[in-house]
Amino acid sequence: MEKGIFKNSIKTSSLVLGILIISLNCLHAQTAKYDEGTKQELINLSKQKWEWMAERNVDSLDVLFHEEAVFIHMGGTMNKKQELNTIKSGGIHYKHAEIKETSVRFVDNTAIILDRIRLTAVVGGNEVVNPFMVTEIYVLIDGKWKLGSLSFTRLLGD
């Protein structure tokens, strides 16, 4: 009886291990299509976005931001039109983003960038400096990366 249980246990373990290996290979195949060059392209695009925001270059941002993009700030959320109008009017002037750390992850045709930054901004006429973790979500559409979401989470420390 014990030998039968042992044989079944080995068969079950082998089956589970096989499924796990197949699953990992599928996961790797989904993310392997994006190489270090693609990661660097996105990091550069993110840096360029911060420059455009500092320069209030709403024409370039309009092309980058997806029509359905959402922007999450400490004080609320905005759609694309609201964000562009806020930048253009100077309601928020993203003066300088000091990028301290960046990572890029892929899920299918979506890229998630996490930036730990120290943001100098002018809000309501007052210059403020805050540490943020910024989540940027980009979606690959017709061969171009479009920003679908930009979310600011204030950090407790620098």
Integer Cα distance of 104 and 114 in angstroms:
7
Render pLDDT for 27-37 as a digit per residue (tens, 0 to 9): 544 444 678 89
d(CA 117, CA 119): 6
Contacts of 43 (CB under 8 A, 6+ apart): 102, 104, 113
pLDDT band, very low/low/confident/very high, at 23 (cuts 50, 70, 90): low
Residues 6+ apart with CB under 8 A from 78: 70, 71, 86
Both tokens of 147, joined, read: 């920003």
pLDDT in tens, 135-158: 999 999 999 999 999 999 999 876
* 3-state SS class at 35: coil
Instruction: Kindly tell me if the per-residue pLDDT of 66 is higher than 60.
Output: yes
The per-residue pLDDT for 25 is 54
List the end-to-end C-alpha distance of the chain, in Å, as a whole number: 63
| Residue 18 pLDDT greater than 60, yes or no | no
Which of helix, strand or coil describes residue 134? strand
Helix (H, G, I), strand (E, B) or coil at 158: coil
pLDDT attached to residue 70: 96
| Lowest-confidence segment of 60-64, 70-74, 82-86 by average pLDDT | 70-74
pLDDT at residue number 3: 52
**Average pLDDT for the chain:** 85
pTM, two decimal places = 0.76
40 has a pLDDT exceeding 50:
yes
